[in-house]
Every structure is written in structure tokens, then in C-alpha cells.
Amino acid sequence: MDSRVALVTGAGSGIGKAAALSLAAEGFVIGAIGRTEEEIASTVDEITDNGGRGLALLADIADEGQVSKAVGQLVTEFGRLDVVVANAGINGVWAPIDDLKLAEWNDTISVNLTGTFLTVRAAVPELKRSGGGSIIVVSSINGTRTFTTPGATAYAATKAAQVAMVQQLALELARHQIRINAVCPGEIETSVGANTRLRKEDETAIPVVWPEGQVPITGGRPGRSEDVADLIAFLASDKSRHITGTPIWVDGGQGLLR
């Protein structure tokens, strides 16, 4: 009951899993939210195998009732909430604006933006009860630093809106000793590409090719989920106690090149 407790959405793979493991290594108890039972169970098993504690929470973050239930389960089990990592998201459909269907737009908005809203809204009362805490929203360089991803209008809009949400809430939550920041990854080796559907890319692609890759600091190679997770762990810790309302790009210089 004395341990700090962190909620991580999209904890079954990629950045979410890496963040959950990194925070567990720092002594946090982890509430791992995901839509795939097998994946989040695997994350929690890895945490416990390494001597930590965790709870698998099956939920769709776009569903208000499921998110509230998951947060309630976590607090009932461990007594408090100190850190929230709002990571879950999809790339959705990338297509020309005049070909993008309303349902496709709504799908991306509901997971990436509404899901972030529901996660933060459900968590804030518990963070207040704990005397403060840290919220970390996983945004992207798309929509915040670069605008060249073919057809990614819905995705970029959600990522820009996440940063606006972070900056809007920073002052509101400061009086409650709650910090909120955004991490904005560039190209990272994750499975999010499985949630991407490209259509008519030839109509939206920007005709630029970087022969040595687009991530300068790694010689063109994508970053790792752990690169983002290390920043999340820092923002969750007291070492970042004077940082709030801030987007931080984790892209190896990619956004400056593009």
C-alpha cells in the first residue's frame, strides 16, 4: 500500500510495454491496460518475474465505462494512483482527405483523443487523493513537429490535440501538485504499423527520399521503445518535479530533418 502506483495504457506491446517495465524497475506497482488479454498478461508476468508487482486490466480506452472500471480496479487493489501514462493509440487510416471516410476519422479520434481524455479524466480524482502525481501523454512528432506523413490527417490532428490538452491542463492541475507532459516520439520500432491502413498513398506522399535514413543520431535507424520509456520514467520521477505542460520530442533529430 506504500508503493507508488502507475497506470499504463496500451501496455501490451511497444512503448507501453517498455514504459511499464521501466517504471516497474523503478519500484512502481503497474496497472497495465490493454485490449488484448494475452499481451497484457505477458507484460504483467514479465514484471512479476523480475520481482515487481502488476495488475492486468482488460479495457478499451475509447469506452468510458471500461476505463472507469479499470482505474477503480487498480485503486481498489493497491490503494492509490501516482502516475498515468496515456500511451494507447492507433495510426488508423491514412488516405487523401477527399477519400477519408467519416467512420475512419471517428475511429482514430475515439482511440487517440477521446481515449486520452477518458484516461486522464478517470485518473485525476485518484491523483488528487494521492496528493499529486504525474501524467505523461504519448503524442508524436506527427502533428507537432512534422506534417509530411502521407494522408495522416486524422492521426496528426489527434497528436496535435494531445499536446494542446497537456498545455491546457498544466495550469489547471498545478494547484493539485499534478504535473502533465507529452512525449513526442519519432520513428520507433513498435507494432503500431499493424494498426495502419494506407490508401492511395501516391496521391499524398511527399516526394523526398533520405538515402541514409531519416534519424540522424542513429545513422538512419529507428529508435527503440526503451528510448521513449526512459524519458517516461524520468517524467514520472521527482527528478522532473519542475517540468509541466511541456512536449518533449524523442526523435533522434528526425523532426528537424523532415
The CA distance from 187 to 67, in Å, is: 28
CA 61 to chain centre: 12
- Other CB atoms within a 10 A radius of the CB of residue 13 amount to 19
Alpha-carbon separation of residue 118 from 61, 115, 216 (angstroms)? 7, 5, 36
Alpha-carbon separation of residue 115 from 3, 66, 229 (angstroms)? 27, 11, 20
- Other CB atoms within a 10 A radius of the CB of residue 193 amount to 10
How many Cα atoms sit within 13 Å of 201 on the Cβ side? 8
Grid coordinates representing 251 are: 526523435
- What positions carry a catalytic annotation? 155
Place of cell 529507428: 222
